[in-house]
Amino acid sequence: MKGLLQGRLGTAAGFAAAAVLLLVVAPAVLSAFNLGLLGKFLCFAIVAVGIGLAWGRGGMLTLGQGVFFGLGAYIMAMHMKLADASLFGGSGVPDFMSLYGSGQVPGWWEPFRSPAVTLLAVVLVPGLVALILGLAVFKRRVKGAYFAILSQALAAAFAVFLIGQQATTGGSNGLSGFRSFFGFDLQDPDNKVMLYMIAAAVLLLSVALARQLMHSRLGELLVAVRDQEERVRFLGYDPASIKTAIYVVAAVLAGIAGALFVPLVGIISPADVGVIPSIAFIIGVAIGGRATLLGPVLGAVGAAAAQSALSSTFPSFWVYFQGLLFVLVIGFMPGGLASLASMVGKRRRNRTARPLPSVPTPAAASASAPLTEGEASMPEEARR
């Protein structure tokens, strides 16, 4: 009991330290520009938390999180465009629609005039899409590479669809030029700090949620499904429901991240939701350590920050470096950089991080040793 108490207090203290760092220290020391940049990285980190759950814990290699990110982002962007149009133009028609379209707001935009509908839709639309998709895919036992390809195709199709709808989605230009956010002036520096704070708070909440899920019965079942789906089925559980539930959580997190991205960054375009950004999400998570709680977060923020820092000095270099890092991590360190720490502190981890010592299933064993999960699940899939 003593060890556990220490562990629990330790996590709580770690969480509190992270909260202080993000909500107090960062706004105090960073310039307005860098704080905005960090806010953007935190949005990617929120997506990464979801991918960590779906891929790291659930084995669902989702190469299409850009779709859910984009849904949340475009819903928020549509609301902000409409709000700006009524606030500044008076006509209620966003500028680009009069330039490239009919000058009429299409019917499917109208619901997003309402702030309440927008906030609900940011959560519900990605969630519902993921639910329908998850049920359709997982109930049919589509998994592994097939699921990965399917999700990636979806991201590609989504981007192509957006580009084709010049008059209603802004096409390849996307939606940009926002001036207000729920009535708050986006040019006011205080409001920018507030937006960052919201992103940081949402990230903290999603990490907390991910931790609770990982330690819940659902989380244990998820790892079990990842490693031995058939065995879980024979035990009387429905793996499809378990996977769908987590897939929905990941989608909702991506949607919320997208909705925060728009006011923080000031633009959303098809280039932010297609295949390349979807893979960039995955790379960050893989580098950080997909099966751990904090690995995806740190990986996403680290990869985005490194790209931002290196790309101005060495424009093409970053792409190669990122590719190389990805190959090295996948080839030699499937647990990501987080497994470096666990290698060092392996003995200590083994003592504290086995939540269910009385149930010695392979699932529980591999949950505490994420290093081996790639190898554990691969042959399984290869057999089918």
Q: What are phi and psi of 267, to 5 degrees?
A: -155, 150
The stretch among 132-140, 172-180, 228-236, 360-368 that binds other proteins (CB under 8 A) is 172-180
Interface region with other proteins, contact rule CB under 8 A, candidates 51-59, 113-121, 177-185, 235-243? 177-185
For residues 318, 320, 321 and 326, what is the CA-based torsion angle, rounded to 10 degrees? Answer: 120
Site for other proteins in 240-279 (CB under 8 A): 265-269, 271-272
Q: Which two tokens stand for residue 245?
A: 């539930």
Q: Are 84 and 180 in contact (CB under 8 A)?
A: yes
In degrees, to the nearest 5, what angle opens at C-alpha 130 toward C-alphas 378 and 63? 45
Of residues 3-22, which lie at the interface with other proteins (CB under 8 A)?
Answer: 4, 8, 11-12, 15-16, 19
Site string for other proteins, 302-331 (x = CB under 8 A): ------x--xx--xx-xx------------
Q: Judged by CB under 8 A, which of 91, 104, 212, 350 binds other proteins?
A: 212
Number of residues that bind other proteins (CB under 8 A): 75
- Whole-angstrom CA distances from 139 to 36, 143, 164 are 41, 10, 32
Residue with tokens 């500044």: 88
User: H helices of 111-237, where?
Assistant: 115-138, 144-164, 166-169, 189-215, 217-227, 229-234
Q: Between β-strands 184-185 and 180-181, what pairing exists: parallel, antiparallel or unpaired? A: antiparallel
Among the listed residues 124, 197, 341, 365, the single contact to other proteins using CB under 8 A: 197
Per CB under 8 A, which of residues 23..52 are in contact with other proteins? 23, 31-34, 36-37, 40
Q: Binding other proteins by CB under 8 A: which of 46, 163, 253, 256?
A: 163
Q: How far is the CB of 74 from other proteins (least distance, A)?
A: 14
**DSSP one-letter code for 180:** E
Residue 160 in contact with other proteins, rule: CB under 8 A: yes
- Judged by CB, which is closer to other proteins: 312, or 383? 312
Indicate which single residue of 216, 348, 350, 360 sits in contact with other proteins (rule: CB under 8 A): 216
Q: Tokens standing for 83?
A: 């709000």
Q: At which residue do the structure tokens 């505490």 appear?
A: 368
Amino acid at 302: G
Q: Which is nearer to other proteins, 234 or 316 (CB)?
A: 316
135 vs 194, beta carbon nearer other proteins: 194
Burial class (CB in 10 A: 0-12, 13-18, 19+), 19: middle
Give the one residue of 110, 188, 230, 381 binding other proteins; rule: CB under 8 A: 188
Q: At its nearest, how many Å lie between other proteins and the CB of residue 197?
A: 4
CA–CA dist 366, 376 (Å, integer): 8
HSE-up of 177 (CA within 13 Å, CB side)?
Answer: 12
CB of 324 to other proteins, least distance (A): 16
Choose, by CB under 8 A, the member of 193, 306, 325, 365 that binds other proteins.
Answer: 193
Q: Which is nearer to other proteins, 266 or 374 (CB)?
A: 266
Options 204, 242, 259, 260; binder of other proteins; rule CB under 8 A: 204
DSSP annotation of 290 reads: T
Nearer to other proteins, 347 or 358 (CB): 358
Q: In the complex with other proteins, which residue's Cβ is closer, 98 or 368?
A: 98
DSSP-based three-state secondary structure for 175: strand
Which helix or strand (DSSP H or E) is residue 268 part of? strand 267-268
What would the x/- binding string for other proteins be over residues 99 to 138, using CB under 8 A?
xx--x-----------------------------------
